[in-house]
Structure 1
Amino acid sequence: MNLILFPPESLRHSPDGTAYVELRDPRRLRHLHEVHRATIGERYQLGEIDGEIGEGELLAFDRDLARFAFTPRRAAPQPLDLHLLLALPRPRMLARSLENIATLGVKRLTLLHTARVEKSYWQSPELGAEKIRQHLELGLEQARDTLMPAVELVTRFKPFVEDQLPALLEGRRGLVAHPGAAAPCPRGLPLDAPLLLAIGPEGGFIDYEVERLIEAGCEGIHLGERILRVETAVVALLSRLY
């Protein structure tokens, strides 16, 4: 945990205006006890979810509570101007993918049903709002970021591509990552370059889906001949693009 995230309601002020943070979350308290072996007076990097990053001095600490004096220092790192469309991965891979996506600075994610996504994946407990948030928080803590990604679940491909995607592509370059596409993945784009990137499931998009995405305004790109797992493809594509 490179950053201790806390929700806005944990930030309070004493009568003299001093800011302090009270943490009661069991996961974070356990990490402070078992990994940091925290002691009173030590200083840690703290970040308010969707707010500033700063320094916290540990004032009180036991199994149920950690209290920090908090001094804001800076804003969160610059996010990517990227909307990621990701075919819903299998549950085990979804957890790792969410953490990687948050770590790399993606702030808008649509999990999409496609022909090769098993319908049973949509019943997974990993798609619960609290589970998704937990994985995103782990990614933000790794990267020392505070800006929480927005996640949308879309269970019907055709209506999404026909009714929503054209509007999402206005003022935004659309890319479809697919083996066999004509063009190699672009390199070294600025962080504020507005993009929409579509990544398929383990077996890739079917031809019909690629055709619909391209008709909507996306360009087909590839990373070479190798077929990558979804979690690997996400990291490889974002690393190459930016």
Structure 2
Amino acid sequence: MNTILLHDEDFISDNRVTLTGRRLQHVLEVHRAQIGDSLRLGKLGGLMGEGRVCSLTSERLELEVQLDQRPPAALPITLLLALPRPKMLKRVLQAVTSLGVKQIYLINSYRVEKSFWGSPLLQAEKLQEQLLLGLEQACDTILPQVHLKQLFKPFVEDELPRIISGSRAYVAHPVAASNCPTGIRESISLAIGPEGGFIPYEVEKLQACGFTPISLGRRILRVETAVPVLLSRLSAEQIMGK
């Protein structure tokens, strides 16, 4: 937790907040803060800054806050990800949130197991838990939007052209002839398939929509590895804020 995220209900006045629960325990056990210490803060959906510890017990923390800094810029990449297994999805959501992705589409694919769509992790509050962990890690305050699209063909034909409009669209495909480009300073739409990749029919549908197949080379990576690698290669300078 590199940034403590504040919610509206934490504020007891315009510049004072009280914290309990998980965030308090983190301050006590990791920061080992004392009265007078400063902590990095951010209001969810708003500005970032610092908070000075005014009072601290095992049950309650009170901070005087000053929020006057903008969060880091969003990464201009729309991620379309074939729904992975729940444990992997947790790690991927945290990673892409940390990297600054703000639009995430979880889509269906022939190789996505139907049971994945019944996972409790896809409930809104469970998804938000993973996104918050990503924001805390990366010192960000703006939550990504996560869209669930369980029908592949209608989504690609009816919605995807509008979503990718004005962006350079790529689909990661292990046998693609073109290598993944690097350092793109434009809006990007990136589609990544499940373990084993999209089937040929799905790649063809994405190509018909405007996607270019790209590859990371001869090595076949797990989805949780491929996602941050692809994001980093496509837009390394933007991730680093340059």
TM-score range, shorter chain: over 0.9
What does residue 207 of structure 1 align with?
200
Which structure 2 residues correspond to residues 60-209 of structure 1 after superposition, within 5 A?
60-190=55-185, 193-209=186-202
Amino acid at match of 1:151: V
What does residue 240 of structure 2 align with?
none
Q: Does 1:35 pair with 2:37?
A: no
What does residue 10 of structure 1 align with?
10
Amino acid at match of 2:226: A
Percent of aligned positions that are identical = 51
Counterpart CA distance in 2 for 1:189 and 1:8 is 37
Instruction: Report the CA distance between 1:12 and its aligned residue.
Output: 4.4
Instruction: Report the CA distance between 1:10 and its aligned residue.
Output: 2.3
Instruction: Report the CA distance between 1:59 and its aligned residue.
Output: 1.2
Amino acid at match of 2:8: P
Unmatched tracts of structure 2, length 5 or more: 236-242
What does residue 23 of structure 1 align with?
19
Amino acid at match of 1:8: D
What does residue 239 of structure 2 align with?
none
The more displaced of 98-107 and 119-128 is 119-128
Counterpart CA distance in 2 for 1:63 and 1:140 is 25
Secondary structure, in 3 states, of the residue corresponding to 1:148? coil
Secondary structure, in 3 states, of the residue corresponding to 2:75? coil
Secondary structure, in 3 states, of the residue corresponding to 2:2? coil
Secondary structure, in 3 states, of the residue corresponding to 1:68? strand
- Per-residue displacement from partner, 1:61-80 (whole Å, max 9, x unpaired)? 23332221111131000111
- Per-residue displacement from partner, 1:62-99 (whole Å, max 9, x unpaired)? 33322211111310001111110000010110000000
Counterpart CA distance in 1 for 2:98 and 2:136 is 8
Counterpart CA distance in 2 for 1:27 and 1:194 is 36
Kindly report the root-mean-square deviation, in angstroms, between the aligned alpha carbons of the 2 structures: 1.2
Counterpart CA distance in 2 for 1:8 and 1:215 is 45
What does residue 50 of structure 2 align with?
55
Q: Does 1:219 pair with 2:218?
A: no
Secondary structure, in 3 states, of the residue corresponding to 2:101? coil
Which aligned segments of 4 or more residues in structure 1 are displaced greater than 4 angstroms?
none
Unmatched tracts of structure 1, length 5 or more: none
The more displaced of 161-170 and 2-11 is 2-11
